[in-house]
Amino acid sequence: MGSVLWIPTVLGLFTAYLYILSTNVPELKGVKDENARLNFPSNLEELTSLASTLQLYKTEHLLYVLLLFCSAYIYKQTFAIPGSVFLNLLGGALFGVWTSFPLVCVLSATGASCCFLLSKYFGKQHIERFFPDKVHFLQGKVEENKDSLLFFLLFLRFFPMTPNWFLNMASPIVNVPIHLFFLSVLIGLMPFNFICVQTGGMLSEIKSTDDIFTSGTLLKLGAIAVVALVPGMIVKKLKDRKTKSE
């Protein structure tokens, strides 16, 4: 296992790249002090302002806006920085639902996989030290569902209360294969991503994030999570039946 010092090194390099990208913006007539506005939004007011600015850039510099958006999204996912919901909303506002939806699904899976690899090679012993009980619990569940692991991972991603940041860091420690991990993030976050980008298309009508995740929406996500468990339960029951007959 490599030194944990590689993590701040990678973070520093990626931060420097993102800073250079966001401060060397193309020229655009009619926009002043644009550099100060290209920051990560922390509330809906900042998000709306950023979306308006980037909409102007998109008309003349689509590739730049796309590169900036993709880079920022992967950055947040790779280093488990909160706030991906704002980038999902921004994607919906900038690119529309049917372009941003597949885009953010791929970006979320890619960024989470980068986080997975950082944890696997540089952070394993520290995750185990700070979260021993949670890692032990997850390890037991992975072993218990190893014959239907993808369905179990999908359940965890579909369920709205699951801490995705912890799953990203702990999955390599509990021996989740990266191909199943990538698929579980790609597919499992689809409902969440779709709700966000669809809402992002109506950004001006949102007053708070509570308007996105209503009790009805959370219940729907929970129901989808339960459905994801059904194939795994069937596989497990068939295996138990086969074992008893032998």
CA-CA distance, 232 to 228, in Å (whole number)?
8
When pLDDT is averaged across residues 118-125 and rounded to a whole number, the result is: 89
Q: What is the mean pLDDT of the chain?
A: 84
Domain contains 236: yes
- The answer to whether residues 151 and 229 touch, using CB atoms and an 8 Å cutoff, is yes
Angle at 192 between CA 188 and CA 193, to 5 degrees: 95
Tens-place pLDDT, residues 172-217: 999 999 999 999 999 999 888 998 888 887 775 665 656 666 666 6
**Structural domain span for residue 185:** 6-245
Question: Degrees (nearest 5) of the Cα angle 133, 191, 84?
Answer: 65
Question: What is the number of domains present in the chain?
Answer: 1
Q: Considering the domain boundaries, does residue 154 fall inside one?
A: yes
Domain assignment present for 1? no
- pTM comes to 0.85
Decide if pLDDT at 118 tops 90.
yes
Higher pLDDT, 205 or 83: 83
- Write the pLDDT tens digit of every residue in 10-57: 999 999 999 999 888 887 665 555 444 578 888 888 888 889 889 888
Alpha carbon distance 159, 178 (integer Å):
20
For residue 45, what pLDDT is reported? Answer: 84
**Above pLDDT 90, what percent of the chain?**
45
Neighbours of 30 (CB within 10 A): 5
